[in-house]
Amino acid sequence: MIARLVGPLTRDKSDTLLLLLAALMVLAPHFGHLPLWTSAMVCATLLWRTVLTLRGSRLPPLWLLLPVALLAMAAVYLNYRTLLGREPGVTMLALLLTLKLLEMHARRDLFVVIFLSFFLLLTNFFYSQSILTALAMVATIVVLLATQVTFQFTGAVPPLAARLKLAGRVFLVAAPLGALLFIAFPRVQGPLWGLPGDANSGKTGMSDTMSPGSMSKLALSDDVAFRVRFTGAVPPQQQMYWRGPVLSHYDGRTWSRIGREQNGGGVQYLRRHLNLRGTAYPYEVTLEPGRRQFLFLLELSALEATRSDANSGFTDELESLVHAQSDARMRYSSVAYPDYTAQANLAPQRMARWLRLPQDYNPRTLAYGAQLQALRAERGDDAALAAALDNFRRNFEYTLEPSLLGRDAVDEFLFDTRKGFCEHYAGAFVYLMRAAGLPARVVNGYQGGELNPVDGFYTVRQSDAHAWTEVWLGAPRGWVRIDPTAAVAPERIRSSLAQALPQAAPFGLQGLSEMSRDRQSWLAQMRFGISAANNAWNQWILDYNPSRQQHFLEELGAAFGDWRLPAALAALGGLVLWWRRRRAERARDPLDDAYLAFCRLLARHGLEKAPHEGPLSLGQRVRQLQVPPGKMAAMTEFLALYSALKYGAPQAPANHLARLNRLLKQSR
């Protein structure tokens, strides 16, 4: 019944359907960000054009298409309030492409649609630059090339598989030129029209404030925050504290940064108050795109050794600030010394901001702090710290789902609920230390990282977000890192959040969940491989910026200055040419080789074979040559045997080929 409705699938119909398939592959990735009405109109237009093609109906007239196109442009303007920019521009291109499919009357219109499809395909990179997007675009390019090739045939058309194979070869021929242009063509600083749409949308990240629940929300995100490559020794997992914003102000609910303390000496001033010693750990960080203003440095990194693409600096609280907030992927390097003394000789009058507490909040905590202050006076600072940490260790629980807290949040946490995540412990501990008379502050950042054995990079995810504290213990100790979470859940610091708080897997997937945590399982190995591929894509493709291009070309030029690289390239080129020649020789038909040798022999006798001339007609002319009878017999028998082997039997036996070669020798 369907065959009666649509009729036979003629050459024009099949070619047009292939074009519609290519257009759908171009348009489909845009449905996720186009307005809903645009996607609906695009799908309806493609369906309309498909029905017209299958039924062999006439295309709609221009007087109908023109008002539709004008209304579509007006709708774009009403939706965006402009016709300029990325979003309205891509929307108009999508609409114009689909409407053009309804207005194809000449061969020129077909190529307009194909070239417009190529241009619209390129706009996918405005929204996503992932590996999957690139692979999908390559597949679409091959289909578009196959469509373009299809319209070039005037006679019989090869099967679709053959056309796709030809299009794939065309793509592979052009790929080296594209790679050369990518490497050598001058780079533009930053992506065209800003970051791709998927760079920041829907992503969470480290904030410069902290309140109950903020870190636990980040712990649910598996997004990559940054990747780290150590160029020498690697510190233990429990020493991987990636320092970010320092929170010193508390208003009774939220911890936040205070105004930046200016220091006239800059980095040199800060260096005089730092003593870095022990093993050095050089490292390089690739920070993922996101709206952030901090560089996360391994505690404690040498200030003078920190190098970054951004304009960054340090505050007196040892934060690394990016002066111009950046959305781009960022790379920086430094050298860390986990054994350090920080700012041990600060003047006591500068401690006020790290002792300040809001009035009329948390009376029970203030009373507990007074007890610890008395203990400090009697037995010293370490005794007070040990008592507070021992209380956390014995009486508290580490959880992602703590109870809601009221006005006196610290009191309720310390004396009532006793369940919380790292932000609860860090905030309560700093409040308690200030109540005991010790300067203290909260440090936000990340803790740990997962080693990828495939590429050797450590991956730090948003789920590794962490909060810890610093307490100032005076000279000669200065600021000392104290992590109360380590007292409650030491496995969080030694391994990861997943080990400290394993999540319940959905019913039926417990085995997969356990397998994903086993680093030796095939699922974990596949995950590591995908992560390494994404990292390589980010490092060498997306992060190939002007400075990296210049560095690469300089290294390439220096390498070419050494005779060994050009010699190796020349040897490789010669090997490739030899292999191609050998392959071509193996691919030749031995029958044709013998026939070509016979034709060259005739040419030496003054008999040139015409391009249209076959072996039988050529044999009639051979008989007119003035040659000895034995040679004449060999020539005529050669042509007769060649005709029988070439156009008769499907495959020439080896003995017949040998006989043909003997006749060729006798003809000489």
Task: Give the DSSP H/E element, type plus range, for residue 332.
Answer: strand 330-336
The amino acid sitting at 66 is L
Task: With residue 502 as reference, give the H or E element that holds it.
Answer: none
Q: Which residue among 30, 33, 411, 422 is the active-site one?
A: 422
DSSP label of 186: P
Residue 43 falls in the annotated catalytic set: no
Contacts (Cβ under 8 Å, ≥6 apart) of 245: 206, 207, 208, 257, 294, 319, 443, 444, 445
Cα–Cα dist 179/186, whole Å: 13
For the record, the structure tokens of 405 come out as 């807290």
- For this structure, is 599 an active site residue? no
DSSP-derived pairing of the beta strands 397-398 and 320-326: unpaired
* Number of other residues whose CB lies within 10 A of the CB of residue 108: 8
Tell me the C-alpha distance between 294 and 390, whole Å.
Answer: 33
Structure-derived torsion over alpha carbons of residues 167, 168, 171, 176, reported in degrees to the nearest 10: -150
CA atoms within 13 A of residue 203's CA, in its CB half-sphere: 18
CA distances from 404 to 361, 417, 501 (A): 17, 9, 19
SS (H, E, C) 206-239: CCCEECCCHHHHHCCCCCEEEEEEECCCCCCHHH
Tell me if residue 528 falls in helix, strand or coil.
Answer: helix
How far is Cα 485 from Cα 483, in angstroms, rounded to an integer?
5
Residue with tokens 């008002």: 67
Residue 518, token pair as written in the block: 């086993």
Contact predicate 138/121, CB 8 Å: no
Q: Is 651 left (phi over 0), alpha (psi -120 to 50) or beta?
A: beta
Query: How far apart, in Å, are the Cα atoms of 93 and each of 62, 72, 97, 619?
Result: 19, 11, 6, 64
Q: Does the annotation mark 109 as catalytic? A: no
Determine contact, residues 334/301, Cβ cutoff 8 Å: yes
Residue 173, CA distances (Å) to 169, 178, 562, 633 in order:
6, 10, 30, 49
Q: From the candidates 466, 543, 589, 592, give the one annotated as an active-site residue.
A: 466
Distance between first and last Cα of the chain: 68
Residues in Cβ contact with 659 at an 8 Å cutoff, skipping those fewer than 6 apart: 641
- Judge residue 466's burial from the number of C-beta atoms within 10 Å of its C-beta, 0-12 exposed, 13-18 middle, 19 or more buried: buried
Residues noted as catalytic: 422, 466, 483
